[in-house]
C-alpha cells in the first residue's frame, strides 16, 4: 500500500437505494427480487433504466439459489440486459464489495451511471441452506470431520472471549440492541424485544454460540445507484459521496491465524481511511454499520475498524455508546441480527443504510446526532475478507 496515490478520474456519489423485505422464504424468484430492489433505487434516484450504463451484481455462492453461473441467471431482473454487466463475489463480503466494484466503474471514468444490485435466495436450498455450507471446507483436511459452519464462529468467539476476557452477557447485549433496533425497519425478519437472559438460555448450537446469537438465513435483494459528480448535480442537492474504499483478504488457512482480532478488516479499513483522510476513526466516524451475522462479530469488527481499542467494544456497548442515541451509533438499522442475513443482499442494511442515514432519510431509524461521515463493512469467505466503504455527505 506504500505508493498508493488514490488519484481517481472522478468522484463517486450515491443518489438512490432500494431493498426488498428480508424473510426466511420469499415467493419471488431471484430475478423478481432484484427487479423490485432496482425499481426502488431508480425511483429514489429519479432515473430510468435507459440511463444506466453499466451494472454490477453481487451474489454469494451459486449453491443457494441452485443455479450455476448465477450472475447470468439474474442479469435480466437486475437490469443487466443489453449492457456491460458483471458479477462479483467475495462470500459474505459481497454486500460491501459490490458497491466497491461499482465505485471502480465510475471512478475509473468508464461509466457515469452504474447500478449496483445484490440478491440472495437462500431458501432455494431445501430444507436448510446450512447444507450448502458443507462445501466451503477444505475437502481434504476438514470435510472428513463433518463440520458445521457454526463451528468456525464458535471457535472464533471462544478465542475472542478468552483473549479479551469478555463474558457472554456482554456479547448478548449486541443481539438485544440490534433486534430492538430492527423493530423500526420495514423489511425486518427477526425483529423482537429480547433480554440477555433470553440469549443465554436459547438453544445451544455450537457452544458458546446459541440460537439467539446468530442471524437467520434470508431471501432478499438490495440496490444502489452510483453516479459521477456532474450527473449527481442534476439529480439531487444532497448526494452522498463515497470517500474511501478498502478491501483485504487473509489466508484460507484460518487455523494458522490468531482469531481474536480481524486483521483483514483492519487492513481494509486502513486503506479506506487513508483514502478518506480519516486519522481518528473513533472521533471522525459518526455512524457505523459493521457486519454482524453473530453478536460477537459486531464487537470483533468494531475493533478491526478502529472504532474501539482491542477489548473495548463490549464496554462501549454496555455503556450505551453504540445505541441509536449514543455517541457512536452502531447498526442503527438492526443489522443482520435484526433484519436478516441474505449474504450479499445485506448491502441493504450496510451500504444502503449508511446512505439513508447520511441523506437523513432513515425515518424512525435515523440516529439522534448530526451525521457527516459513516462507514459500512462486510466480511466473509472462510473468515478471510474484509471490505470497507466510507461515505460522507460533504465532499
Partner 1 sequence: MQIESGLADIVVVEAHSKASDIKTFGEILRHAMDPIWLKGVTRAHPYYFAALEMSYYVKKYCVNDEAIAEVVVKNRKNAILNDSAPYGAKLTVEDVLNSPFVFYPMRKIEIAERADGAVVFVVASDEIARKITDSPIWIKGLGWWSETSNYDTMSFEALYAYKAGKMAYKMAGIEVPANEIDIAEVDDRFAFKELQHLVALQLANKYTVGDLMLEGHFSRNGSLPVNVSGGSLGVGNLLEATGGQKALEIVLQLRGDAGKRQVDCELGLAQSWRYIPTASGAVVVFGV
Partner 2 sequence: MAVGKKKIECPPYAEGTPLSEKDISEKRVTFFEDHPNLVYSWTTGQALSRFLEELKNGRLIATKCNKCGRIIFPPRIYCELCYKPIDGWVYVKDTGTVQTFSISYIDPDAKPLDKPVVVAVIAVDGASPNMGIMHVLGEVEPERVYIGMKVKAVWKPENEREGAITDIKYWRPLEG
Task: Please list every residue from 321 through 350 that binds partner 2, using CB under 8 A.
Answer: 348
Q: Per-residue x/- mask for partner 1, residues 243 to 262, rule CB under 8 A?
A: --x-----------------
Q: Per-residue x/- mask for partner 1, residues 21 to 40, rule CB under 8 A?
A: --------x-x---------
Q: Which does 320 bind (CB under 5 to 8 A by kind): partner 1, partner 2, none?
A: none
Question: Phi, psi (5° rounding) for residue 375?
Answer: -130, 140
Residues between 175 and 234 that touch partner 1 (CB under 8 A):
none
- Closest separation in Å from C-beta 84 to partner 1: 5
Q: Which does 280 bind (CB under 5 to 8 A by kind): partner 2, partner 1, none?
A: none
- Closest separation in Å from C-beta 284 to partner 2: 26
Q: Tell me which residue of 308, 299, 305, 300 sits closest to 268, measured CA to CA.
A: 305
Binding of residue 258 to partner 2 (CB under 8 A):
yes
Q: Which stretch binds partner 2 (CB under 8 A): 76-84, 126-134, 276-284, 290-298?
A: 126-134
Quick one: cell of 340? 436478516
Binding of residue 108 to partner 1 (CB under 8 A):
yes
Pick from 24, 32, 39, 67: which binds partner 1 (CB under 8 A)? 67
- Closest separation in Å from C-beta 242 to partner 2: 19
Q: Which does 86 bind (CB under 5 to 8 A by kind): partner 1, partner 2, none?
A: partner 1
How many C-beta neighbours within 10 Å does residue 381 have? 19
Total residues interacting with partner 2, rule: CB under 8 A: 79
3-state secondary structure 277-344: CCCCHHHHCCEEECCCCEHHHHHHHHHHCCCCCCCCHHHHHHCCCCCCCCCCCECCCCHHHHHCECHH
Pick from 69, 141, 207, 368: which binds partner 1 (CB under 8 A)? 69
335 in Cβ contact with 352 (< 8 Å): no
H or E segment to which residue 338 belongs: helix 335-339
CA distance 137 to 130: 13
Q: Tell me which residue of 187, 183, 210 sits closest to 17, measured CA to CA.
A: 187
Q: Which does 3 bind (CB under 5 to 8 A by kind): partner 1, partner 2, none?
A: partner 1
CA distance 360 to 288: 15
Q: Tell me which residue of 37, 28, 94, 26 sits closest to 60, measured CA to CA.
A: 94
Binding of residue 99 to partner 2 (CB under 8 A):
no
Binding of residue 7 to partner 1 (CB under 8 A):
yes
Total residues interacting with partner 1, rule: CB under 8 A: 34
189 in Cβ contact with 339 (< 8 Å): yes
Quick one: cell of 352? 444502503
- In this structure, are strands 287-289 and 240-249 parallel, antiparallel, or unpaired? unpaired
Under the rule (CB under 8 A), what is the footprint of partner 1? 3-9, 29, 31, 62, 66-69, 72-76, 80-86, 103-105, 107-110, 245
Amino acid at each position: 500500500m506504500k505508493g498508493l496515490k488514490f488519484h481517481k478520474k472522478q468522484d463517486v456519489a450515491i443518489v438512490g437505494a432500494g431493498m426488498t423485505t428480508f424473510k426466511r422464504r420469499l415467493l419471488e424468484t431471484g430475478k423478481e427480487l432484484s427487479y423490485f430492489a432496482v425499481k426502488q433505487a431508480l425511483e429514489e434516484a429519479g432515473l430510468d433504466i435507459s440511463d444506466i450504463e453499466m451494472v454490477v451484481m453481487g451474489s454469494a455462492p451459486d449453491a443457494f439459489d441452485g443455479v450455476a453461473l448465477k450472475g447470468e441467471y439474474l442479469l435480466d431482473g437486475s437490469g443487466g440486459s443489453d449492457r456491460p454487466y458483471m458479477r462479483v463475489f467475495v462470500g459474505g463480503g459481497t454486500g460491501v464489495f459490490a458497491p466497491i466494484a461499482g465505485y471502480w466503474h465510475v471512478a475509473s471514468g468508464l461509466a457515469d451511471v452504474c447500478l449496483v444490485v445484490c440478491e440472495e435466495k437462500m431458501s432455494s436450498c431445501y430444507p436448510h441452506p446450512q447444507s450448502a455450507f458443507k462445501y466451503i471446507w477444505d475437502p481434504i483436511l476438514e470435510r472428513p470431520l463433518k463440520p458445521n459452519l457454526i463451528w468456525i464462529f464458535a471457535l472464533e468467539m471462544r478465542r475472542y472471549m478468552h483473549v479479551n476476557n469478555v463474558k457472554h452477557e456482554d456479547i448478548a447485549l449486541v443481539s438485544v440492541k440490534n433486534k430492538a433496533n430492527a423493530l423500526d425497519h420495514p423489511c425486518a425478519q427477526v425483529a423482537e424485544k429480547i433480554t440477555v437472559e433470553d440469549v443465554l438460555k436459547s438453544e445451544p448450537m455450537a457452544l458458546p454460540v446459541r440460537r439467539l446469537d446468530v442471524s437467520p438465513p434470508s431471501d432478499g435483494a438490495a440496490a444502489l445507484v452510483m453516479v459521477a459528480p456532474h450527473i449527481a448535480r442534476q439529480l439531487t442537492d444532497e448526494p452522498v459521496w463515497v470517500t474511501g474504499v478498502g478491501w483485504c483478504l487473509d489466508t484460507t488457512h484460518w487455523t494458522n491465524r490468531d482469531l481474536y482480532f480481524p486483521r483483514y478488516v483492519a487492513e481494509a479499513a486502513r486503506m479506506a481511511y487513508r483514502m478518506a483522510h480519516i486519522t481518528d476513526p473513533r472521533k471522525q466516524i459518526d455512524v457505523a454499520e459493521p457486519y454482524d451475522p453473530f453478536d460477537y462479530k459486531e464487537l470483533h469488527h468494531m475493533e478491526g475498524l478502529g472504532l474501539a481499542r482491542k477489548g473495548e467494544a463490549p464496554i462501549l456497548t454496555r455503556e450505551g455508546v453504540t445505541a441509536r442515541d449514543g455517541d457512536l451509533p452502531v447498526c442503527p438499522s438492526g443489522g443482520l441480527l435484526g433484519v436478516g442475513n441474505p449474504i450479499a443482499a445485506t448491502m441493504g442494511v450496510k451500504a444502503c443504510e449508511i446512505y439513508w442515514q447520511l441523506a437523513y432519510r432513515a425515518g424512525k431509524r435515523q440516529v439522534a446526532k448530526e451525521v457527516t461521515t459513516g462507514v459500512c463493512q462486510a466480511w466473509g469467505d472462510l473468515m478471510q475478507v474484509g471490505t470497507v466503504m466510507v461515505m460522507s455527505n460533504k465532499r
